[in-house]
Structure 1
């Protein structure tokens, strides 16, 4: 009895699976040039409800997004050789593929880390491909609008550089062309300006206020304060653009900056590496200093008349690159570093002995001082406490750095 019922139910299910629906049959019959045999080949296979089949067809969306994001950011290579297997480079399709401006380069003479006596003073240097140094304009004293011609690669630094063209008709040679450190997002066709000489007259249309009024924090009466704040807002909207150079007194707190100078007429010395940035914390009331937070977390005082570039340094993914093989590091001019335990006793404090052992000693460098973060400077006038009176807060270290 039960077997006959099961057989009838199974036959009815099979018949329903074999017979196509009316809508599908009509859709297939409407296709031109299809015979009865070819129509049956268009029939979809029976739906499978196995759990394994469902698992095989599903994909983790988060993993797929992560892979796609990585492919869009970095360039990887098919591992046809072992050196290409782990090679990973940031994608920079906007970089200029040609040669640099010959007028703005000088040949780099390498010394292999040796001094005049031939002694090695800087270890792990030597070899490498021939390079030319790009002469960058770290002062940017020329006023007026400069056009970004292209973004280039610089072998002497981690950040990218931008070639500028001065719009002034009287500029020629080195006054017309110059290299600067490119900010993040800078592309060919952009316009940048330098306001190190001050705000030019008539820069804000409709506001003929003296420069001292623009640079003051407030005005005497209400009418003057409202006009001053309006002019200051217009000034910030016109000058606070990535790539522009401004005195620190004209940059509002919280602005991200780079290429900070330490002298009013000096070159940029701080925050020039790829992906780095500083931040204006505050301006001293009735003072001559501005507090700037550097990339290390240190907060220090800088003169208000010193200048900085608005924005973040380009090529932030440089630190996440992978060279892929030791030879590529040799091309860059870096020689290998040897472990101390692999040396002889006369070459390193960890050398000598049997096996890989430093003989129960504290880890030290080749010169004998602690290499695991031991602070060797004595407190006092020449120590960390008063070594630099411009430092408001030292960079975080140890537990403070781990907690932040």
Structure 2
């Protein structure tokens, strides 16, 4: 659910945030967090900036997420729903019957006190994890393995879900959030349901300072620079970019519509329909 702020200052007038009253206000479980060295967009080897517009931001601890959920046929109770500063989806804390605790990506509509389980032939309900071949066609799934035993690698961002269109010849035809249809081995595990926080993309940051809290530095337009600094720079007043092949990066490469996937990539045969 989205909520606005009372316009007590220009900085909060435009803010729209996700109302997350169901999230726990307690500190994260100490055994499941680790300090994570942030590189601020710089290379580990050379120390040079390799990703621009990163740096600063609030201190944060990395929550270790269980993407494999390889504790099969052991029920777990949802102890808390929590915020994770390293991802846009919420996470939930599971208490297993044998006493172990783990974090997983929280599915949408999962509540504190619910019991979920991972296994080959478990019940089909939100939060349960089982192989694609045992999930009914058309049901939304997330946190999908690309290879058996790899752990969830795709469909993990807020509000996303994939859909099995068919299961045949040892493969499941999975329709991704992007619209791409791809073949995945039917013994790969997936979690039933949609990822939590589906309204994340409707938020409005509202002020520059909040972007800085998130570790995002200012992004200067190329057209506001000099010709020596950017291909779009220079000109009197608001000049067009004046390039026949379209917008360019600061290094002169084409910026939009360029395909970056290798033409002879081995997994191309698994893609039945490209994204649109």
Bin for the TM-score computed over the shorter chain: over 0.9
Contact 2:130 2:191 in 1 (8 A): yes
Q: 1:392 to 1:178 in 2, by over 3 A?
A: same
Match for 1:124 among 48, 53, 63?
53
Question: Is 1:367 matched up with 2:247?
Answer: no
Contact 1:369 1:376 in 2 (8 A): no
User: Could you tell me how far apart the structure 2 residues matched to 1:162 and 1:359 are?
Assistant: 48
Unmatched 5+ stretches in structure 2: none
Q: TM-score, normalised by structure 1?
A: 0.65
Q: Counterpart in 2 of 1:381?
A: 264
- 4+ long deviations beyond 3 Å: 374-378
Q: Counterpart in 1 of 2:155?
A: 271
Deviation of the 1:79 alpha carbon: 1.0
Question: Is 1:283 matched up with 2:167?
Answer: yes
User: Could you tell me how far apart the structure 2 residues matched to 1:377 and 1:355 are?
Assistant: 38
User: Could you tell me how far apart the structure 2 residues matched to 1:110 and 1:388 are?
Assistant: 34
SS across alignment from 2:268: coil
Deviation of the 1:345 alpha carbon: 1.9
SS across alignment from 2:199: helix
SS across alignment from 1:389: helix
Q: 1:350 to 1:133 in 2, by over 3 A?
A: same
Q: Counterpart in 2 of 1:178?
A: 102
User: Could you tell me how far apart the structure 1 residues matched to 2:133 and 2:79 are?
Assistant: 30
Question: Is 1:395 matched up with 2:275?
Answer: yes
- Which aligned pairs between 1:274-313 and structure 2 lie closer than 5 A? 274-284=158-168, 287-313=169-195
SS across alignment from 1:338: coil
Contact 2:89 2:158 in 1 (8 A): yes
Unmatched 5+ stretches in structure 1: 1-72, 200-237, 397-404
Write 1 or 2 for the structure with the bigger share of helix. Answer: 1
Question: Is 1:325 matched up with 2:249?
Answer: no
Deviation of the 1:255 alpha carbon: 0.9
Q: TM-score, normalised by structure 2?
A: 0.94
Question: Is 1:89 matched up with 2:17?
Answer: yes
Deviation of the 1:370 alpha carbon: 2.8
Superposed CA offset, 1:101-135 (max 9, x none): 01100112111111121211011100000000000
Q: Counterpart in 2 of 1:339?
A: 221
User: Could you tell me how far apart the structure 2 residues matched to 1:392 and 1:376 are?
Assistant: 18
SS across alignment from 1:239: coil
Q: Counterpart in 1 of 2:77?
A: 147
Q: Counterpart in 2 of 1:136?
A: 65
User: Could you tell me how far apart the structure 1 residues matched to 2:49 and 2:65 are?
Assistant: 29
Quick check: which has more Rg, 1 or 2? 1
Contact 1:95 1:153 in 2 (8 A): yes
Deviation of the 1:359 alpha carbon: 4.8
- Which aligned pairs between 1:41-52 and structure 2 lie closer than 5 A? none
Contact 1:249 1:304 in 2 (8 A): yes
CA RMSD of aligned residues (A): 1.7
SS across alignment from 2:269: coil
Deviation of the 1:146 alpha carbon: 0.3
Question: Is 1:261 matched up with 2:145?
Answer: yes
User: Could you tell me how far apart the structure 2 residues matched to 1:88 and 1:74 are?
Assistant: 7
Q: Counterpart in 2 of 1:218?
A: none
SS across alignment from 2:212: helix
Contact 1:351 1:358 in 2 (8 A): no
